[in-house]
Amino acid sequence: MNYFLDSWRPGYHLSPPDGWMSDPVGLCRKDGVYHIFFQYCPEDVNGKKPRVWGHFQGQDLMHMKYAGVAFPATEYEKSGVYPGSALVDEDGIHLFYTGSIKEKGDFDYNVAGRTSNQMRISTKDGIRYGSRQLLLTNKDYPAEMTLKVRDPKVWKEKDTYFMVLAAGMKKVPGEGDVPHGRSGNGCALIYTSKDQIHWTYMRDFFLPEGFGYQWECPDYFHIEGCTVLSICPQGIGHQEFHFQNHYSAGYFFVEGESIGGQMVSKSSFHEWDQGFDFYAPQTFQDSDGRRILIAWAGMPDARYFNLTANKEGWQGLLTVPRELTVGGGRLLQNPVAEINSLRETKLTPMNGEPLTFSNGTGELQIGPGKGAVRVRIGSRLQPRVVTLEYENETATLTLDSCNKPLSPAAAATALAEGAVIPARALVEEKAIADAAKEAAGGRTVRRAKIGPLRNLRILVDTSVVEIFLNDGEHVMTTRYYPNHKDSQDRIISTECGSRSCTAWEYRELGNPFESD
């Protein structure tokens, strides 16, 4: 387990071997093997150089192994291999993605400024790939769209293939042209094909009143009699309980029977996650019939930061796979059942008394009841990095450190153990404030109106928590960075009154970057 020592490396969330990780792409299962591809920039921890697809694979979603870069970029992807999806059939795994080529100047609106190539490449095993094929390029998109057309999600219904693409109109219907890519109207384009190669434009989805200037990472699927269009709209105005992040991610319940006549409405839009770090979700249906969602536990263009970038040379990770079901007029998200196999030591916390996850990973569950709830998560030096509070039907997620100054003896001990913040300085108030700021990574507060609290489940990992409220009706995900070199321990303190409270410490997993 040396791979995890003195590090914010997650214990059971997927992270990159180095460099930058963002969107999960190409999610699928073929011949008993799960494949999780991801946006990857191995040469730049901030993702500023052209990206490729990294690849994990394994027979168990909790035991995935890194399989390297999937395929290199060519002249079709000079500026990066952008997100896309997988389609599985008897011939293998067919990967669809956007090959981006950026020129100088306004590469969103200038007709020669950006080329967005929709591409296809196939593999039988995720290791060896055939030749790639160009499917669509700029001339194939409606003239009223910007050049930011990308992120193909492909699926099949009966004998027809469908592709949904992220896009943005140059103007809001009824208004004039806009001068740049921060205005306009987000939308999703639908194309059809009979052979996966030749595609014809069919229609678009959009809201006439406007809903952000660009939609990204679209997904379209059927679940339990419902049809869902998932998008990441950019440019939504912030509200106290909704759209609190720099960009949003959510889904519509689609109205209508046939794709040609379907509609979406703002009233049916729900956010996937109301924490700090959630973007670019993608779903797939595995061979057991489950609809599984994985997202990037991150946020593009956010003003807050991730300490792993400059201290450990990597940045970004993925959420745990979540199984989707329908209930109460929403999509419910819950960790896949396989995660229960990580439970090792069962604990029964006393109300208000701290418990310890000695390897930094574990799970906490709180049952029904009345009254307020407070859960604090941190480390020995910083016991209150993450605070989740429930009161008056509202869940509030706060990140700070709330440390008291250390005694000289405690500071000396922390220094000997290699504290990230120089431990001798932790006896001073300013240093404590600096430590709190770093532990939060610039994150502050997120809120969600959830109604009466029926149950709560929190997955704790070394530098990320995922919070599931009321059977997954609401979810809040965030990264956090306690002063880890004092200890790998995570300290959890719970105040829940008469509600039941159970915890499990998770067992350690092996290094995903080493072969068995």
Q: Cβ neighbours of residue 503 under 8 Å, at least 6 residues apart?
A: 346, 347, 348, 349, 355, 362, 363, 364, 365, 492
Do 482 and 396 lie in one domain? The reply is yes
- Rounded to whole angstroms, the Cα distance separating 448 from 450 reads 6
Q: Is residue 142 part of a domain?
A: yes
Residue in this structure with the two tokens 């700029």, named with its chain if needed: 138
Do 381 and 486 lie in one domain? The reply is yes
Model pLDDT, residue 3: 39
**219-229 exposure pattern, b = at least 16 Cβ within 10 A, e = fewer:** bbbeeeeebbb
Q: Tell me which residue range forms the domain holding 396.
A: 338-402+443-506
* Structural domains in the chain (count): 2
Model pLDDT, residue 5: 46
Residue 274, both tokens: 């109301």
Domain of 492, CATH number, reads: 2.60.120.560
Query: What is the 8-class DSSP label of residue 208?
Result: T
Q: Is residue 433 part of a domain?
A: no
Do 129 and 263 lie in one domain? The reply is yes
411 CB-side CA count, 13 A: 16
Q: Is 328 exposed, middle or buried (0-12, 13-18, 19+ CB in 10 A)?
A: exposed
Q: Is residue 242 part of a domain?
A: yes
Domain of 196, CATH number, reads: 2.115.10.20
Tens-binned pLDDT, residue by residue, of the chain (516 aa): 233 445 899 999 999 999 999 999 999 999 999 999 999 999 999 999 999 999 999 999 999 999 999 999 999 999 999 999 999 999 999 999 999 998 876 656 555 678 999 999 999 999 999 999 999 999 999 999 998 999 999 999 999 999 999 999 988 765 544 444 456 899 999 999 999 999 999 999 999 999 999 999 999 999 999 999 999 999 999 999 999 999 999 999 999 988 988 999 999 999 999 999 999 999 999 999 999 999 999 999 998 999 899 889 999 999 999 999 999 999 999 999 999 999 999 998 888 889 999 999 999 999 999 999 999 998 877 778 899 999 999 999 999 745 555 556 655 655 555 555 554 455 555 565 666 677 788 899 999 999 999 999 999 999 999 999 999 999 999 999 987 655 688 999 999 999 999 999 999 999 999 886
User: Would the pTM of this model clear 0.75, i.e. be above it?
Assistant: yes
CB 465 within 8 A of CB 459: yes
- Rounded to whole angstroms, the Cα distance separating 82 from 150 reads 8
Model pLDDT, residue 352: 80
Tell me the pairing of strands 322-327 and 291-296.
antiparallel
Report the Cα 8 to chain-centroid distance in Å: 17
Q: Where are the beta strands (DSSP E) in 194-318?
A: 200-205, 214-223, 226-234, 250-253, 270-271, 279-285, 291-296, 314-315
Last residue of a domain, one of 237, 252, 272: 272
Q: Is residue 499 part of a domain?
A: yes
Last residue of a domain, one of 224, 253, 272: 272
Model pLDDT, residue 108: 61
- Cα distances (Å, whole numbers) of residue 83 to 56, 118, 120, 217, 281: 15, 10, 12, 8, 11
Quick one: the chain helix, strand, coil %, rounded to 5? 10, 45, 45
Q: Is residue 16 part of a domain?
A: no
Residue 447, both tokens: 């809120």
Do 263 and 344 lie in one domain? The reply is no
Last residue of a domain, one of 222, 256, 272: 272
Model pLDDT, residue 416: 55
Q: Is residue 291 part of a domain?
A: no
Model pLDDT, residue 1: 28
Do 262 and 349 lie in one domain? The reply is no
Do 252 and 166 lie in one domain? The reply is yes
